[in-house]
Structure 1
Amino acid sequence: MKMQAALVILVFSGLLAVQTTLAAQHVIGGSQGWDQSVDFDSWSSDKSFKVGDQLVFKYSGLHSVVELGSEAAYKSCDLGTPVNSLSSGNDVVKVSKTGTRYFACGTPGHCESGMKVKVNVVSADSTAASSPDSDSSSDSDSGSSTGSGSSSSSGQGLRASIGYVLAVGSLVVGLVWAF
């Protein structure tokens, strides 16, 4: 009975590893976070954002996050009709579909000084490499989370492969151990 319980635990651990490797979490602005000192165009230029990934906005009380509905609103910093507004200081936005999303700081003058980011989202099965800044997860579409994790620059496909290897390896070890 003890061995069967160990087998079940190992299998579930492997499956959990697969689930957590399929989506990346991107801390917007990297280690500096959502801050006026970041060049968001440069920061995002080598990133690939995929459906299922999460965007994490970490910032002080001087800032907020406003999601804009169009490129025109993004370019002109028109914050008058936001799609979403966040202000927890540690906001997580789950990317659920392909396309471009636009974010800006809601503090007057910050968007105009460059505190805005455009995120181009591709399908989860795209071959472009994903560049996560953290491996924590959250189930919300948008809201706050307190998770943080280690930095990583591996591609999503590689992470998924590692997850599958862990799951299969856990199953094999469990079976060998059980018999």
Structure 2
Amino acid sequence: MAMFCRGIVVVVVVIFVAVATKEALAKQHVVGGSQGWDASVDFSSWESSQTFRVGDQLVFKYTPGLHSVVELASEKEYTKCNIGNALNSMNGGTSTVKLNKTGYRYFTCGTLGHCQEGMKLKIKTLALNESGPSTSTSPASASSAPIVLFSSTSMLIAIAMFLVLLVMV
């Protein structure tokens, strides 16, 4: 019976550590880098310097009232700057979008004329194990920093390791 309990604890700890590690590897991508979500940014260049994975987050930082973030349903709407069938619209100044599945997503500014002027973003989200384009370290890629979960993740891993040691003694 004791061996069975030890086995269950070990399996639970391994699953727990795997989930905690996955979350710790997620990144927050500040859209547009230090300039944020602004009409002066070349979003195509910024996007090409990033690798987006499931679990990552896009963080849009902008001036409320001047800009907004509109998520579009398709590439056709993105190309035509058609915000009439938007999936989501955000206007609070800082908007976070979790990338929860693979595939393409499309964003633009809802302010009249901004999309046509290039204030739009198309991204492709990859699976965790899918290889992406290689990128070099540059000022644009510096805006893609890991989400700070080290303290909580480290604590969880330490607890898990302690439990494994406790069961084995």
Structures share fold, TM-score greater than 0.5:
yes
SS at match of 1:134: strand
Q: 1:43 to 1:94 in 2, by over 3 A?
A: same
Q: How many residues align?
A: 139
Match of 1:79 in 2: 83
Aligned with residue 22 of structure 1, among 20, 25, 28: 25
Runs of 4+ in 1 over 6 A off after TM superposition: none
Q: Does 1:103 align with 2:134?
A: no
Offset at residue 46 of structure 1 (A): 1.9
SS at match of 1:72: helix
Whether the 8 Å contact between 2:30 and 2:36 is mirrored in structure 1 is: yes
Offset at residue 31 of structure 1 (A): 0.7
Match of 2:145 in 1: 134
Question: CA–CA distance in 2 between the matches of 1:113 and 1:21?
Answer: 37
Question: CA–CA distance in 2 between the matches of 1:97 and 1:104?
Answer: 20
Match of 2:51 in 1: 48
Please, what is the CA RMSD of the aligned residues? Answer: 3.3
Offset at residue 98 of structure 1 (A): 0.6
Question: CA–CA distance in 1 between the matches of 2:101 and 2:23?
Answer: 19
Deviations 1:109-163 (A, max 9, x none): 0000000000111112223369662334xxxxxxxxxxxx7xxxxxxxxx9xxx7
TM-score (norm: length of structure 2):
0.69
Deviations 1:55-86 (A, max 9, x none): 10000021000000010100110011101001
Larger C-alpha radius of gyration, 1 or 2? Answer: 2
Question: CA–CA distance in 2 between the matches of 1:19 and 1:45?
Answer: 24
Query: Unaligned stretches of 5+ in structure 1?
Result: 1-14, 137-148, 150-158
Whichever residue aligns with residue 135 of structure 1, its letter is: P
